[in-house]
Amino acid sequence: MTVEVSPGLILILGALVVPLLRGIARSVFMLALPVVAFLYLLWLPNGAYGGLSIFDLDLTTIRVDGLSRMFGYVFLIAAFLGVVFALHLKDTVQHVAGLFYPGAAVAAIFAGDLVTLFVFWELTAMASVFLIWASRNENAIKTGIRYLVIHVGSGVLLLAGAAIHYQATGSIAFEHIGLGTTAGALILAAFGIKAAFPFVHGWVPEAYPTSTVTGAVIMSAFTTKLAIYALARGYAGTDLLIPIGAAMAVFPLFYAVIENDLRRVLAYGLVGQLGFMVVGIGIGTELALNGAVAHAFCSVLYTVLLFMSMGAVLYRTGTAKASDLGGLVRSMPLTAGFGIVGAASISAFPLFSGFVSKAMIISAALGEDYFWTWLVLLFASAGAFLQIGLKVPYTAFFGRDSGIRCEEAPPNMLAAMGLASVLCIGIGVLPMTFYELLPYPGDYAPYTLEHVVTQLQLLMFSALAFAVLLRRGLYPVSLKSMNLDFEWVYRRAAPTVALAGWDIAVALRRWALGAMFKPLSAFLTGIYRHHGPDGILARTWPTGLMALWTTLLLAAWLVIYYVQ
Amino acid sequence: MTSAPGSTDERRDRLADPRTARYLVWALYAVCAGLLLIDPLVHKHGPFAIEHWIGFYGIYGFVVSIGLVLVAKAMRRILMRPENYYDR
């Protein structure tokens, strides 16, 4: 049997069949798609398949190796979790997009060349925007259009970079690219937009909380981690990524402190976690790269879990605003429990998934003597615990009782959260099995006394700080508000500047015309007076008058004829 | 709504009880103290001198957490806007 079908295509083609099915058949079919794709990937040996020749370009549509395999696995698991979580929905658009989009992301992961990558890069953007639009309100439509502009822009940069790369090297194979060339810079910019680098991160906190309950869960898994994969493939060991990643790990935490929408808090937390991966890719040693890949894998699972628990809260209470929530553990104890597992995982608590992956990146920074980076990553670890691990469950499920009493989340949501929780704890408890899947060789022991004690110190004293701040009333209260982020530049500043520029241009044009063409203008006014619509020379006379004069003339002629 | 002793509702209420929170905070103090006490027994391998200071990780975590929250709180003065800021 020849292998010519990307695992992603199973989801993409399957998604197109979904609208034809109804009821149980549709649910079973949707659940089966990621399972089939996963089994297929398990069976698929490493290698390059699916060769195509288009316009003298040799495409490799499927490249399976240790790196792409890991991302393929976790994307298919996330796709399955997304289907389970959204099973109660009747909305066909979300079901189709919820499979097509993960499919495109998986196909992009297995792309062996830049052209295939570009095609699926754009398809992920186009499919995922429907998960934003599925909220079906004006804000969602506008946010979706901005999201699309940003992501299609990223694709255009990628295509431009790929074209220059092809001209320079004669190859479109997607291997290490590096930053030395124009092509390298363009492609890094394309990847950076999707990876939410600082100043181009605005789309993450904007789009995810605008998406639907289930849409945000699905979106949080794929786009940014696809970019992390692309960076790991093309830019491993690029020094510039270390400061970029360190900045990414820290600055979203400040926003997370003062943000009121808990799904937006999670979006900032997500960007912070990407920062760890970007640092790992920048350091570029085998330990660091393994750490980046492992952290991407774990991060997909716990981010999905966190978005699921806040999604369930939003679904049952109609709000995810910290200022409206509190004390929900009474009504939704299981959702609260699963949320805490996600929170412990993102906080890198020992025995939870984040610990075994984040520790690798921090150890790599320590081992390669990156002093400041190491300090920043410790800061980011403490901050992620404080702002995601403590703040989110505390404000939603504990703290002040909001008085909201609602039902527990629907069974399908609980099942999805339960499965994600099992995976998060499983990786944390059995790290060695997990490490064997990593792409590069190396033996790393996460559970040494040193790692556990230092990490616990960092976390417990952060918790102490949280407790002290709360008791002293210093922790900022949740206010119904929003905070300006970089999106302000293109939502407010740029339009204001552009409109002001337009007004100035119009005024200048009027002035220039007035000053330079005053004589001409007088001449034109004269012509207009005589030949314009109301001018005497342009006046029209009714044809009836002509007919009357003709009749009178003929009658006069007749009278004269008889008189003669 | 009143809940009968021993019922599920009462148990759930206890989870969100301020007294539970107080016990948790005391437990937290104890854990933090314990971690500081065993710190000298743990051999650290890192290349940086400050990592070998006793309780470095704990003190660092505490200080940056307080700093993070206070700085972010100050940022509100510049960044905070009404919820419908972009709709106006």
Instruction: Name the residue in chain B with its Cα closest to that of A477.
Output: B73
pLDDT of amino acid B24: 85
- How many residues are given for chain B? 88
Q: How far apart (Å, rounded) are the C-alpha atoms in residues A224 and A29?
A: 27
B74: closest CA of chain A, how far (Å): 10
Q: How far apart (Å, rounded) are the C-alpha atoms in residues A300 and A85?
A: 15
What would the mean pLDDT of A456-468 be, rounded to a whole number? 92
B48: closest CA of chain A, how far (Å): 7
pLDDT of amino acid A152: 93
**What's the pLDDT tens digit per position in A39-87?**
999 998 888 887 788 877 888 888 999 899 999 999 999 999 999 999 9
How many domains, in total, are found in chain B? Answer: 2
CB atoms B16 and A366 under 8 Å: no
User: Contact at 8 Å (CB) between A134 and A211?
Assistant: yes
- Nearest CB to A257; choose among B46, B51, B72: B72
On average, the pLDDT of chain A sits at 90
User: What tokens does A208 get?
Assistant: 């995810």
CB atoms B15 and A329 under 8 Å: yes
Q: Are residues B17 and B49 in the same domain?
A: no
Q: How far apart (Å, rounded) are the C-alpha atoms in residues A271 and A216?
A: 14
- Nearest CB to B39; choose among A455, A457, A479: A457
**What's the pLDDT tens digit per position in A521-535?**
788 888 888 887 777
CB atoms A386 and B25 under 8 Å: no
The residue of B57, B71, B78, B88 whose CB has the most chain A CBs within 10 angstroms, and thus the best one to mutate to test that interface, is B57
pLDDT of amino acid A508: 92
CB atoms B16 and A257 under 8 Å: no
Q: Please determine, for residue A450, whether its predicted confidence score (pLDDT) is greater than 50.
A: yes
From A391, A341, A101, A44, select the one nearest A217 (Cα to Cα): A101
pLDDT of amino acid A442: 81
Q: DSSP string of A434-494? A: HHTTSSS--------HHHHHHHHHHHHHHHHHHHHHHHTT-SPPP-S-EE--THHIIIIIH
Of the two residues A57 and A541, the one the predictor is more confident about is: A57
What would the mean pLDDT of A438-453 be, rounded to a whole number? 87
Q: Please determine, for residue A387, whether its predicted confidence score (pLDDT) is greater than 80.
A: yes
CB-CB neighbors (< 8 A) of B26 in chain A: none
The residue of A454, A487, A488 whose CB has the most chain B CBs within 10 angstroms, and thus the best one to mutate to test that interface, is A454
- Nearest CB to B46; choose among A366, A459, A461: A366
CB atoms B80 and A481 under 8 Å: yes
What would the mean pLDDT of A128-138 be, rounded to a whole number? 91
Does A545 reach chain B within 8 Å, measured CB to CB?
no
Q: Which of A324-328, A415-419, A438-442, A536-540 has the lowest mean pLDDT?
A: A536-540
CB atoms B76 and A483 under 8 Å: yes
- Nearest CB to A258; choose among B29, B73, B86: B73
Q: Are residues B37 and B51 in the same domain?
A: no
Q: Are residues B59 and B80 in the same domain?
A: yes
Does A137 reach chain B within 8 Å, measured CB to CB?
no
| Confidence band of A129 (pLDDT split at 50, 70, 90) | very high
What does each C-alpha distance from A237 to A55, A167, A187, A374, A484 come to in angstroms?
33, 24, 16, 17, 34
pLDDT of amino acid B12: 55
Q: Are residues B67 and B37 in the same domain?
A: no
- How many residues are given for chain A? 564
Does A472 reach chain B within 8 Å, measured CB to CB?
no
Q: How far apart (Å, rounded) are the C-alpha atoms in residues A420 and A434?
A: 15
CB atoms A461 and B43 under 8 Å: no
Q: Phi and psi (nearest 5°) for A338?
A: -65, -40
CB-CB neighbors (< 8 A) of A456 in chain B: 31, 35
Q: Are residues B64 and B82 in the same domain?
A: yes
Task: Give me the percent of chain A exceeding a pLDDT of 90.
Answer: 63
Q: Which of A267-271, A286-290, A336-340, B6-10 has the lowest mean pLDDT?
A: B6-10
CB atoms A329 and B21 under 8 Å: no
A438: closest CA of chain B, how far (Å): 24
Q: Are residues B49 and B38 in the same domain?
A: no
Q: Are residues B50 and B88 in the same domain?
A: yes
Q: Are residues B55 and B38 in the same domain?
A: no
Domain span holding position B14: 1-42
- pLDDT beneath 70, residues of chain B: 1-17, 88
What would the mean pLDDT of A203-220 be, rounded to a whole number? 92
Q: Are residues B38 and B49 in the same domain?
A: no
pLDDT of amino acid A1: 39
pLDDT of amino acid A3: 56
| Confidence band of A402 (pLDDT split at 50, 70, 90) | confident
Instruction: Name the residue in chain A with its Cα closest to that of B38.
Output: A453
Q: Are residues B34 and B51 in the same domain?
A: no
pLDDT of amino acid A41: 92
ipTM metric: 0.84
Q: Are residues B86 and B50 in the same domain?
A: yes
Instruction: Name the residue in chain A with its Cα closest to that of B83.
Output: A481
Q: Are residues B52 and B87 in the same domain?
A: yes
CB atoms B76 and A139 under 8 Å: no
CB-CB neighbors (< 8 A) of A397 in chain B: 16
User: What tokens does A202 get?
Assistant: 């605005």
Window 241-280 of A: residues touching B by CB (8 A cutoff) are 253-255, 257-258, 260
Does A173 reach chain B within 8 Å, measured CB to CB?
no
